[in-house]
Structure 1
Amino acid sequence: MPAPSSDWLREHPQVRTIRAAACDLNGVARGKRMPARYAEKVVTDGTRFPISALSLDIWGEDIDDSPLVFETGDRDGVLRPTERGFVPMPWLEAPSALLPIWMFREDGRPYDGDPRHCLRRVVERYKAKGLTPVVAVELEFFLIDDSSRNLQVPISPRSNKRRKAAEILSIRALDAFDQFFTDLYEACEAMDIPAETAISEAGLGQFEINLVHCDDALRAADDAWLFKMLVKGLARRHGFAASFMAKPYEDYAGSGMHAHFSVLDDEGRNIFDDGGPKGTDALRHAIAGCLEAMSDSALIFAPHLNSYDRLVPEAHAPSGLCWAYENRTVAIRVPSGPPPARRIEHRVSGGDVNPYLALSAILGAALNGIEDGVEPPDPITGNAYAQDLPRIPDTWGAAIEAFEASKVMPRIFPEELIRNMLLTKRQELHYMAELEPHEQVEIYLDTV
C-alpha cells in the first residue's frame, strides 16, 4: 500500500476538517481534530500526544498505577499516518476525513503498546517464514433504540412499527431498515471497506455484515476498526444507536466477530489445502496452537465485563475448548467448501473486541502451533454444549489472571502491551463493580 499523501485532500476540496486518530487498547479512536489546511504537517511530520493515551480505561481516564503517566512525566509519542491514508467520514454532517495514525517512540522505534504495531509484529513473523495470512471477519451488531433505560429495537422508518422478535435470515428485517443499510453500503464504498453480505441474526434487532477476505492482515483489521466506527456513527444519523457490545439483551444471543483465515506459502498456495475435506498437517497444527492459547487469550476475545454474558452454553457462542468440521457450536470450526478455500473459523471473539488485538491473538497462536508442530485433540461431533469439555474462562477476573500467568502470550504480545492491558483491565474491573447494570450498559453501548 502506498504511503499517504495530501493529494486526497486536494482531490476533495469540500473536506474542511480532519480527525487524526489511533486505536487504543479498547479499540477506541484517540486523536485530534484540525482544519484541513493543517493536515499536510501531520502527513509529513506526524503529530504528538501522550503515550499513555493508548492505554486509557473504558471511560477515557488515565490508569492510576501506570508507569506511563506520572512516573515518566506523561511523555509524548510521535504518531505517523498508517498506509491507509485519508478516508471520508460519511456519518458526520460536515464533509470530514479521518487520517489513521499509529505511535512511535521519539527515536523512531514502533511503540510496543500500540495494538496495530502488535499485529504488524505477528505478520512479520509469518513473512519471515515465507507465509501470508489471508483474513476475513464477520461483524455482528445490534440496532437499538436507547432513548430510555429500556433498550429495544428501533421503530422501522418504513412501517413505523417496532417488531420485538429475533428474525434469523429475514429479508423483511433487513428491508425494515433499508435506507440505513443502503447508506451503510454507500459509505463502505466511499471508505474502501469491502462490505459484502448482510443478514439478520438471532438477536433482537441484530445483523451481521461480512467483510471480504484480504491477504493483508493489517488492512483487514483496519477495515474492521473503521467499519465499527462507521456503523455506530451512521446509526446516530438515522436516529438510533448501533452497538457491538457483546450482549445488550439477556434473553437473546450476543454479537461476535468471527475471524476466518487461511495461510499462503511464497508461491501463493494455501498450506491448509490437501485436496480434500480434511486439510493438511499445517491446518491441524494451527488449530492446536489456537486451542492451546485460547484460555490465556480470553481477555483479548472477551475484554469487558459484559463480554462474559455472551460466552455461555446454548447462546450461539462457544464455551468449550474444542474444534470440529462444519459445526457452529465449537470454538474452532473448519468450514466445508472447495479444498483451495480450506480455512479456519475462529468463533470466540465478541463484537466488542479490538480487531488488531483479536487478529494478533488468533494469527499468533496459529503460527505458534505451526512452528511447534503440535497436534490438536480429535475433532468433536454433535453438540459441543452437551459435552464435557475444558472451558474458556467464564469470568472477567479469571481471564485477567489467565492472561497474566500465561507462558504463551509473551510469544504473541510484547511485554509492554501485556503490562498495559493488565493494568487497564484491573482498573476497569474495580470501577465497574461500583456501577448498576444499566450504568454498565450505558458505558459499553457506544464505546465498544
Structure 2
Amino acid sequence: MAGRHLNLKSTEDVRQFVAEQDPKHIKVGFFDIDGVFRGKYIAKAKFLSALENGYGFCDAVLGWDVADTLYDNSSFTGWHTGYPDANLRILPESGMILPFDNETVFFSSEFAGRAKDICPRAVLRRVLKRAEDMGFMAKTAMEFEFFMFQESPDSLEEKGFRNLTPLTPGNFSYSALRSIVHEDLYQDILDTFSSIDIELEGLHAETGPGVLETAIAVDDALAMADKASIFKAFMKILAQKRGLMATFMAKWNQELSGQSGHTHMSLWSLDEKPVFFDPADQHKMSPTMRHFLGGQLAYLRDFAAMIAPNVNSYARLTPGYWAPTSATWGVDNRTVGIRVIPGSEKSHRLEYRIPGSDVNPYLSMAAAIGSGLLGIEKGIEPGEPALGNAYDLDVPMDRQLPTNLESAGILFGASDAAKDLFGEAFVEHFAASRVFEAHEYGRAVTDWELRRYFEVL
C-alpha cells in the first residue's frame, strides 16, 4: 500500500489529524550518531502528550555504537551518569503514512534538552543558522550508490557474509536491459519514495554486481538531510520486504569500487537568488563560491571524521576506485575531492565527492556547508584547479585525508574550527565515539589475518 506525506505544519495540525484518523498507535523514530534509524510504537494518548512535552529514550541510544556496544570513553553518558532518559521532540512536518504494508502513521523526532548538543540534526541546524546569519541558505542534493543482494539477515549469518549472491552478476553500468528485467523492483522504489514526497531524479544500475544508484532531487539542506536519512532506512526496509538485502557500506568487497554518497550544493541569498555564479569569471565562479570552496578544502582534513565516519570508510578512499584521497578541486573532474560543475546561474554548483554511502547525512552535510562558511568568513582562496589525474598530484600533508578512523577522530577532537562550528560538547562526544569504533576494530581478528599468518607464523 502506498504511503503519503501528511503535509502537517504545526502541533495543532497533528492533533487535528490524529483526532480525525484515530490511530491506536503511532510510530516515532530518530536517527542516531551513526545515522541508524531507531524508534518505537507509542499509544495515541502518549503521543498526544509527547507533542507538548516530548518523550524519552534511554540516552544509551547516544552512548553506544552500531552494534549496541556501550562507549567506554564518553563523557556525555555512561555508567557514571546512570543512563537517564534523553528527551526528543516530535517534528510535525515529518508526518507520513509509512509506504509499506499497513497504514502506519509515522513521525520523526529530534533530540532536545541536554541531548540537543550532540544531536546530528541539531548540529546541522546550527550550521544552517550560521549561514542564515551570514545572509545565505543552502540548497543540496544527495546521490547514493548501494549494493543489492538476494540474501536475508539469516542467510548472511549462515554464510558468514561470504559468497553472497548479488541481485545481478558482473559489471553492467547504466544497463537498460537489467533495469527493465527488474522493472517491478525499480518501479517499486520510485513509487515508494514518490508517495512520501522524496523525488528520485534518477535510478539506474551502476558498475558492479547488483549496484544501483539514485539521486534525490534538490531541496533545502535540512530537508535534504531528512530525505536522505529516510531514503537509506526505508530502502533497506523495502529490500528486506522483497527478500533482498541492501547495504550502504562504503566498501563491502576489496575487489570492487566503493559506494559514494556525493553531495551537490550551492548557496543562495535569503530572497532565493543564487550567489555562486559569475559570468565574468573563467570558471563562472563568484568570489563567494571560491571562498566557500577554499574553506571546504582547508578544513577537509580536520572534519574527515564526519565525512568518513566508519573504519570501513577508509577502504573506499583509495586511488583508482572513483573516490578522492585528498583535498583537491577541479572543473568537471571526477578524480578530485570537490568538483565544480559548470552550469546556468541556478545550476552552477559544487559536488562534494568525499562522502561514501555510509555517512550520516546530517553530519556530512554539516561538515561540507560549515567548512564552506568558514572559508567565506576568512576569505580562503582555493588555489589552482587540478588538471587531469588528481591522484598523481603531490599534495601537501595538510591537504591529505587521514588514512584511518582513529587519526580522523583525534584530528577532529583537537580542531578549534570544529568546536566553533559544531559546539564543544558535540566535538568531544563524536571524536570519542570515532576513537572507540577504531579501537573496537583494532581488537578484531580478521579473515585476512588468519589467511596471512595462521600457518606461516
Which of 280, 284, 287 is residue 290 of structure 2 equivalent to? 284
CA distance in 2 between partners of 1:313 and 1:181 (Å): 31
Instruction: Tell me the equivalent position of 2:453.
Output: none
Instruction: Tell me the equivalent position of 2:241.
Output: 237
Query: Is 1:267 aligned with 2:274?
Result: no
- Give the Å deviation of 1:346: 0.5
| Percent identity over paired residues | 31
Which of 234, 240, 258 is residue 254 of structure 1 equivalent to? 258
2:406–2:434 Cα contact (<8 Å) kept:
no
TM-score by length of 1: 0.89
Question: Which moved further from structure 2: 226-235 or 82-91?
Answer: 82-91
Q: Which deviations, in whole Å up to 9, do the C-alpha atoms of 1:169-223 show, x marking residues without a partner?
A: 1112322332222111221122221222112212321111111111x21111000
Instruction: Tell me the equivalent position of 1:432.
Output: 441
User: Alpha carbons of 1:151 and 1:182: their partners in 2 closer, same or farther (altered >3 Å)?
Assistant: farther
Which of 174, 189, 193 is residue 188 of structure 1 equivalent to? 193
1:110–1:117 Cα contact (<8 Å) kept:
no
Instruction: Tell me the equivalent position of 1:363.
Output: 369
1:262–1:343 Cα contact (<8 Å) kept:
yes
- In structure 2, give the amino acid aligned to 1:372: K
TM-score by length of 2: 0.88
CA distance in 2 between partners of 1:399 and 1:98 (Å): 36
CA distance in 1 between partners of 2:201 and 2:228 (Å): 13
- Give the Å deviation of 1:62: 2.3
Instruction: Tell me the equivalent position of 2:38.
Output: 30
Instruction: Tell me the equivalent position of 2:311.
Output: 305
1:90–1:234 Cα contact (<8 Å) kept:
no
Alignment of structure 1 residues 99-110 onto 2, 5 Å: 99-105=107-113
1:329–1:385 Cα contact (<8 Å) kept:
yes
CA distance in 1 between partners of 2:279 and 2:21 (Å): 48
Q: Secondary structure at the match of 1:233?
A: helix
Which of 96, 106, 113 is residue 98 of structure 1 equivalent to? 106
- Give the Å deviation of 1:166: 1.8
Instruction: Tell me the equivalent position of 1:203.
Output: 208
Q: Which runs of 5+ in 1 are unaligned?
A: 156-162, 440-448
Q: Which deviations, in whole Å up to 9, do the C-alpha atoms of 1:295-353 show, x marking residues without a partner?
A: 11111111111111100001011112210000111000011222332111100011001
2:92–2:107 Cα contact (<8 Å) kept:
no
User: Alpha carbons of 1:438 and 1:41: their partners in 2 closer, same or farther (altered >3 Å)?
Assistant: farther
Query: Is 1:405 aligned with 2:383?
Result: no
User: Alpha carbons of 1:194 and 1:16: their partners in 2 closer, same or farther (altered >3 Å)?
Assistant: farther
What is the number of equivalent residue pairs in this alignment?
A: 426
Question: Which moved further from structure 2: 237-246 or 78-87?
Answer: 78-87
Query: Is 1:222 aligned with 2:234?
Result: no
User: Alpha carbons of 1:10 and 1:177: their partners in 2 closer, same or farther (altered >3 Å)?
Assistant: farther
Instruction: Tell me the equivalent position of 2:149.
Output: 144
1:55–1:421 Cα contact (<8 Å) kept:
no
2:59–2:84 Cα contact (<8 Å) kept:
yes
Instruction: Tell me the equivalent position of 1:86.
Output: 95
Instruction: Tell me the equivalent position of 2:9.
Output: 2
Instruction: Tell me the equivalent position of 1:48.
Output: 56
User: Alpha carbons of 1:394 and 1:110: their partners in 2 closer, same or farther (altered >3 Å)?
Assistant: closer
Q: Secondary structure at the match of 1:112?
A: helix
Q: Which deviations, in whole Å up to 9, do the C-alpha atoms of 1:378-415 show, x marking residues without a partner?
A: 00110111222242112122212221222321122111
Q: Secondary structure at the match of 1:209?
A: strand
CA distance in 2 between partners of 1:358 and 1:119 (Å): 9
